[in-house]
Structure 1
């Protein structure tokens, strides 16, 4: 065989090159397979398996935004004033917080301005409210308290920012979905792929079988770390919009079927498998993992090892 003769590569060798490339450098793949480095580079390049998967990205994308005529986006009237604690100043502050909770920008502005006219420092009113709250309730009945228990009574500015953000998310959800709490096509697909699998007592699915099933659908498989981040952003955005829903707000938002969570865990696992193409991609994964608290434990160590190896 002359030096100019091209080396034939079997289908099995090609599959092995692509499999190893997800964990090893090009030079390491060449050493492991005994193929010339140039041949390995050509096989990897021609496969397209290490370029962004356009079909995958198109599927894991939120529906386009269309302005909504929903009455949920119409200006809201101020809630009725109520005597809750019997302390006029505390009740006034409670009412202003209810106005802020509406998410209506104009009403929030009026409420914040009105709060400045309450002479007693808001922190003292917060203390008076806590003292009232700790007292035994007559007849065992609790008066209706507005839904802002995760904030101090005095944290009006913070509440206003979060309320406006939720209103913006509700508007986006209304413009993208008819019903943001209904299962999406992507969630339904996850259920189809994992059909027949049973979760354990904690609601978790076997990682090995989940991986095998999802990898059997290469058209919807992330090829690159950038693909992984694209899909994870899809899930995060979907749940962000659901958390803003008036029907199931905050921690009670519907996060979809367990199969969708299994898909997310699977994609997070790929962050430790797919090699970064360059430093910028590695840094993007590191920022994402840090923001989502993914760098702890065994999974976090695996992601870091993948990025720095």
Structure 2
């Protein structure tokens, strides 16, 4: 090495165009693959990526896609409720007693639920047999469908009191959380309004869906609210799922009738799910977190799932 060939003078200069290409490729490739594709030294690629900050969690994005803080209020007080009145529904005393205990459980009141479960043990006839007797009564001519005033059984049979109790307590907890976080959980949130503003002028197709490529282009035009990492993606997807969970608990529009938000918000969620197949995992733990999430929410079904999996193991 001559006197003029100092380490500082032999460092490769990187143009702004190269820097942008490195960051763009890094979203889809490993560091070593980026170095190969650009012809830059691996150390230079690592430095450019690290200094950009583009692959650290986006704190501004996370702050925006976060539920409002929980503020306990009188509306979230879970004080003991009065038991529902006992009624004659089928004329079968044991079946009617079990129906009443279910109504007590469906109040979501912890104290009533405990009393109802304890009382159910004193019914001598097996609960499955009572369930069958109720079904036979229900399906007689002119009795098709649930009778007025009989609570729907959702995913539980008449006899499945323990499962119903768990679901009722969870539902009551969600209702209390919704009341503590929102004045009206079914009103559009700031995040949903922002999605509508970003996609303003776009028209959904016949299936009320927005063009994926155009929606992605519009969302990417707002880098301050873009996920930088797969962890950011999971954070935002949790926000949308938690919002819907609280809306499903709403007594005004429960369960399947819950307001899922404007179509623009669904387009945003699909966009972020698509990023799970684009943003490279920073480490094994992040890849495993996405794998668990995608498995739990059945995102591996179809071509989109294959793309996510290829991104995680590629």
* Aligned partner of residue 281 in structure 2, secondary structure: coil
Which of 26, 32, 42 aligns to 2:47? It is 42
* Aligned partner of residue 136 in structure 1, secondary structure: coil
Matched residue, 2:84: 79
In 1: Cα distance, 2:57 partner to 2:22 partner: 18
- CA-CA distance at 1:24 after TM superposition: 0.9
* Cα deviation code 1:205-247 (max 9, x no counterpart): 1110111011111100000001011111111111111111111
Which of 55, 59, 75 aligns to 2:60? It is 55
Aligned in 2, Cα 1:219/1:304: closer, same or farther, shift over 3 Å? same
Matched residue, 1:233: 238
In 2: Cα distance, 1:149 partner to 1:251 partner: 11
Question: Contact 2:138/2:145 (CA < 8 Å) preserved in 1?
Answer: no
* Aligned partner of residue 83 in structure 2, secondary structure: coil
The 5 Å alignment of 1:180-195 reads 180-195=185-200
- CA-CA distance at 1:121 after TM superposition: 0.9
In 2: Cα distance, 1:10 partner to 1:140 partner: 71
Aligned in 2, Cα 1:272/1:138: closer, same or farther, shift over 3 Å? closer
In 2: Cα distance, 1:148 partner to 1:107 partner: 18
Question: Contact 2:76/2:177 (CA < 8 Å) preserved in 1?
Answer: no
In 1: Cα distance, 2:160 partner to 2:43 partner: 63
Which of 243, 252, 257 aligns to 2:248? It is 243
- CA-CA distance at 1:250 after TM superposition: 1.3
Matched residue, 2:202: 197
In 2: Cα distance, 1:237 partner to 1:197 partner: 27
* Match status 1:4 vs 2:8: yes
Aligned in 2, Cα 1:14/1:138: closer, same or farther, shift over 3 Å? closer
- CA-CA distance at 1:101 after TM superposition: 0.3
Matched residue, 1:18: 23
* Match status 1:164 vs 2:169: yes
TM-score, scaled relative to structure 2 = 0.94
- CA-CA distance at 1:35 after TM superposition: 2.1
In 2: Cα distance, 1:202 partner to 1:174 partner: 33
5+ long unaligned stretches in structure 1: none
* Aligned partner of residue 170 in structure 2, secondary structure: helix
Question: Contact 2:54/2:228 (CA < 8 Å) preserved in 1?
Answer: yes
Matched residue, 1:257: 262
* Cα deviation code 1:226-274 (max 9, x no counterpart): 1011111111111111111111111111111111111111111101100
* Match status 1:118 vs 2:123: yes
* Match status 1:291 vs 2:296: yes
In 2: Cα distance, 1:120 partner to 1:114 partner: 13
Question: Contact 1:84/1:143 (CA < 8 Å) preserved in 2?
Answer: no
How many residue pairs get matched? 309
- CA-CA distance at 1:10 after TM superposition: 2.3
In 1: Cα distance, 2:111 partner to 2:165 partner: 11
Matched residue, 1:177: 182
* Aligned partner of residue 103 in structure 1, secondary structure: coil
- CA-CA distance at 1:139 after TM superposition: 12
Aligned in 2, Cα 1:161/1:260: closer, same or farther, shift over 3 Å? same
Give the root-mean-square deviation of aligned CA atoms.
1.8
Which of 102, 111, 118 aligns to 1:106? It is 111
Question: Contact 2:76/2:176 (CA < 8 Å) preserved in 1?
Answer: no
Question: Contact 1:228/1:271 (CA < 8 Å) preserved in 2?
Answer: yes
The answer to which of 45-54 and 248-257 deviates more is 248-257
In 2: Cα distance, 1:122 partner to 1:38 partner: 69
- CA-CA distance at 1:140 after TM superposition: 10
